[in-house]
Amino acid sequence: MFAHWLHHPQITRLQARFAARRPRHPLTRVLVALLGVALLLVLLVVGIAVGALMLLGAGIWRLLRQRGRPQAAGARVIEGEFRHARHGALPHAH
C-alpha cells in the first residue's frame, strides 16, 4: 500500500545521503577501521568504569545504612541467656 513511497525520488536521495559507505582509499579504510576499534575500546572502558563505580557506590551505601544498627546473628547461632553452672552441678554421662 505505501511501499511505493520507499521508491520516491526524495526518499531515495535521503537514504543515499545517509547510507554508510566504505571509503575507497585503502589507507582511509584502515584509519576508519582503527577509529571504530578505538571507539569500541573507549565504550568498553567507560562501561567497566561506570559498573565499578556503581558497585563501589552500592557498597558504600550499604555500609552507611548499616551504621549504628546491631549486627544480625549468624544462621548457626542460638540466642538466649545462659548461666555458668558449677562443675559438679550437672550429671556426668558415662
Domain-wise residue ranges, the chain: 39-65
CA distance 41 to 26: 23
Q: What is the pTM of this model?
A: 0.53
All three cell numbers of 3, joined, read 511501499
All three cell numbers of 65, joined, read 545504612
Element (H, E) at 84: none
Tell me the residue type at 41. Answer: L
53 to each of 46, 56, 61, how far by Cα in Å? 10, 5, 12
Give the pLDDT of residue 7: 66
CB 59 within 8 A of CB 49: no
pLDDT digits (tens, 9 = 90+) for 8-53: 677 677 777 777 777 889 999 999 999 999 999 999 999 999 999 9
Predicted confidence (pLDDT) at residue 70 exceeds the cutoff of 90? no
All three cell numbers of 73, joined, read 546473628
